[in-house]
Amino acid sequence: MIQIDSTDIKKQKKLALTWAITFLILFPVLITLGLLMRLRQGEVTEAAPSEFFSYMTLHGLGMAGVLFSFAFAALWYLNSTRYVKLNVKFGWFLYIIIAIGVVGLLIGTLIGKFGPGWYMLYPLPFKGTFWPLWATKLSVISLIILGVGWLVGILHILYALAKEYGGITNLLGWQYLKKDNSNIREIPSMVLITTISLIPGVFALIIGAAMLIMYLLQSFEPSLAFDPLMMKNMVMFFGHTLVNITMYCAVGWVYALLPEFTHREWKVNKAVVYSWNATFFFILFAYLHHLYMDFVQPTSLQYLGQIISYSSAIPATGITMFGVIAQVYHAKMKWSIIPLMFLFGMAGWAIGGFAAVVDSTIALNSSLHNTLWVPAHFHTYMLMGVVLFILGFLYYLFSGNNKEEKDSFGNAGFWIFVLGSYGFLLMFYLGGLNSVPRRYSNYSGIEIDHVRETGVHLAQCAALFVGVLLIGLILMYLSLICRLVQQKATNKKND
């Protein structure tokens, strides 16, 4: 096992803290954009549609980017302080590259009003737009920069892990599948999940780069006409895979950190290897469920989309849920805020995942497609899954040695946050069930009175719940800051 010296750990921690603070600044800003959108839909404010759509674009791209970047940064930190040596200078370089991409995106959307949504569905960013061409170019270039940063970072982690654990087959856990596995190189479960999550990311980012180059070419030559179906396949392969692996990266650190609280090992075994390897394959093709409404897509791919969406949900989720239950069942553990967040994060993943499977069923998708059910499911596993995992990790990072201490302030914030979030999500689900469409800046154009009125009322309620959620978040922020200050004081004393 590798020995990592304390100086390296300190350096990596500084990097992780910088990532954490960046996340803590950007996250509420992006939530506020969501709040402004719901207020507009609830007819509380009268923002112009152009503002609504630029907010929607930044909210979508920003959240996906920030959550993935932070999930990646957390994996970087945990891997580099436990299992493998990662170059900290390289880590800072990636931070700067990603920051440049984020700044470009902020300028493109907030100043340039770039507003085709995160998916930038072709040819939407080029036909009858309300934003200038430079905003499209800048946003696309910023996304390319972000992609390059992520790709290089992923490659660095994978290569370092492969060197440490004797190659890709070991990283994928295939040594556990041998008949005689008495003398095998054991791998930590987080390393297995890091590998399984990040390799599909490499392919998604290359295809994403090709797609973005085509967008860039289109922005220089308006007479170009690409096949919209091909572009949609590319954008969904890129976007869906990236969002999917964000969740798996976060699940990876739960495998590593939860055992510290339950005091039980969470080892890799055959079942874990089989299920995560299956997920590795399914991640790449699950995106096909985004194209059900595209009648020109070959029918076989539509069926494949449903089958793979079902298959991708079962192995990793099943084995992880079973693992979590085995970890916490009758465990002599203190239910401090960190394991609580991990447990609720798992619940959010399961609930959001179930809603996603419902939507990926072709028969149901014909009713739920493009309704608020869609943001309902992905907000569930992002807000109540990934975000809770991230907050749990932040508590872990900010806590120093006493990670199980009682924190009534933080706990209050957590419960308020969960209450606000599920209230906010419920409004999305109810909207979906009432056929309220998504991506509408306001509902005044809907001719069916019931749908219009329901949409407006639900948006108002959702805005209220976002307020509650933000109160919870502020309390948790205060508790986090206290922990960080406490940790710094302890470190100073020890030095």
Partner 1 sequence: MFYLLSFFWNDWLSITMPRHQLIQLPAMLLLGILLAYCFSTLAIQDMYWGIAILIFIMASFIFWMLPHSIDVAVINKHFNRVMHINMLLSGFLLILVFRKIFFEVKILFLGMITAMLLASGITLSVFNMLLCSSFSIEQQKQTGLYLIFIAIALFIFTAITFFSYLRNRSK
- Total site size for partner 1, rule CB under 8 A: 34
- In the list 226, 274, 310, 415, the residue contacting partner 1 (rule: CB under 8 A) is 226
Residue 176 Cβ vs partner 1, minimum distance, rounded to whole Å: 17
C-beta of residue 315 within 8 angstroms of C-beta of residue 274: yes
Question: 437-466: which residues touch partner 1 (CB under 8 A)?
Answer: none
- In the list 29, 168, 326, 478, the residue contacting partner 1 (rule: CB under 8 A) is 168
- In the list 39, 74, 158, 235, the residue contacting partner 1 (rule: CB under 8 A) is 158
369 - beta bridge partners?
A: none
C-beta of residue 217 within 8 angstroms of C-beta of residue 137: no
How far is 410 from 414, CA to CA, in rounded Å? Answer: 6
- In the list 25, 96, 224, 325, the residue contacting partner 1 (rule: CB under 8 A) is 224
Q: Give yes or no for residue 143 binding partner 1 (CB under 8 A).
A: no
Q: Give yes or no for residue 159 binding partner 1 (CB under 8 A).
A: yes
Residue 231 Cβ vs partner 1, minimum distance, rounded to whole Å: 9
CA atoms within 13 A on the CB side of 44: 15
Specify the stretch interacting with partner 1 by CB under 8 A; choose among 219-227, 342-350, 417-425, 457-465. Answer: 219-227
**Three-state SS at 437:** strand
How far is 98 from 87, CA to CA, in rounded Å? Answer: 17
Specify the stretch interacting with partner 1 by CB under 8 A; choose among 150-158, 259-267, 279-287, 440-448. Answer: 150-158
Residue 166 Cβ vs partner 1, minimum distance, rounded to whole Å: 4
Residue 165 Cβ vs partner 1, minimum distance, rounded to whole Å: 8
Of the two residues 48 and 224, which places its CB atom closer to partner 1 in the complex? 224
Contacts of 211-216 spanning 24+ positions with Cβ under 8 A: 211/235, 211/238, 212/140, 212/143, 212/144, 212/147, 213/144, 215/120, 215/122, 215/125, 215/136, 215/140, 216/137, 216/140, 216/141, 216/144
Q: Give yes or no for residue 92 binding partner 1 (CB under 8 A).
A: no
Q: Give yes or no for residue 214 binding partner 1 (CB under 8 A).
A: yes
Tokens of 472: 């919870």
Residue 493 Cβ vs partner 1, minimum distance, rounded to whole Å: 38
How far is 339 from 391, CA to CA, in rounded Å? Answer: 11
Q: Give yes or no for residue 86 binding partner 1 (CB under 8 A).
A: no
Q: Give yes or no for residue 96 binding partner 1 (CB under 8 A).
A: no
Residue 248 Cβ vs partner 1, minimum distance, rounded to whole Å: 18
Contacts of 217-224 spanning 24+ positions with Cβ under 8 A: 218/122, 218/123, 218/126, 219/125, 219/126, 219/133, 219/136, 219/137, 219/140, 222/126
Residue 363 Cβ vs partner 1, minimum distance, rounded to whole Å: 34
Of the two residues 164 and 407, which places its CB atom closer to partner 1 in the complex? 164
- In the list 21, 103, 213, 448, the residue contacting partner 1 (rule: CB under 8 A) is 213
Residue 150 Cβ vs partner 1, minimum distance, rounded to whole Å: 11
Q: Give yes or no for residue 167 binding partner 1 (CB under 8 A).
A: yes
The letter for the amino acid at 103 is: V
Question: 188-207: which residues touch partner 1 (CB under 8 A)?
Answer: 202-203, 205-207
Residue 152 Cβ vs partner 1, minimum distance, rounded to whole Å: 5
Of the two residues 99 and 207, which places its CB atom closer to partner 1 in the complex? 207
Q: Give yes or no for residue 177 binding partner 1 (CB under 8 A).
A: no
Q: Give yes or no for residue 97 binding partner 1 (CB under 8 A).
A: no
How far is residue 224 from each of residues 122, 128, 211, 212, 236, measured CA to CA in Å?
A: 12, 15, 14, 14, 21
Q: Give yes or no for residue 166 binding partner 1 (CB under 8 A).
A: yes
- In the list 225, 326, 485, 489, the residue contacting partner 1 (rule: CB under 8 A) is 225
Residue 440 backbone dihedrals phi, psi, to 5 degrees: -100, 130
Q: Give yes or no for residue 151 binding partner 1 (CB under 8 A).
A: yes
Tokens of 223: 């007479």
Residue 437 backbone dihedrals phi, psi, to 5 degrees: -75, 155
Of the two residues 169 and 269, which places its CB atom closer to partner 1 in the complex? 169
User: If we measure between CA atoms, which residue out of 122, 132, 290, 133 comes closest to residue 214?
Assistant: 122
C-beta of residue 306 within 8 angstroms of C-beta of residue 283: no
C-beta of residue 369 within 8 angstroms of C-beta of residue 289: no
Binding site for partner 1 (CB under 8 A): 148, 151-152, 155-156, 158-159, 162-169, 171, 202-203, 205-207, 209-211, 213-214, 217, 221, 223-227, 230
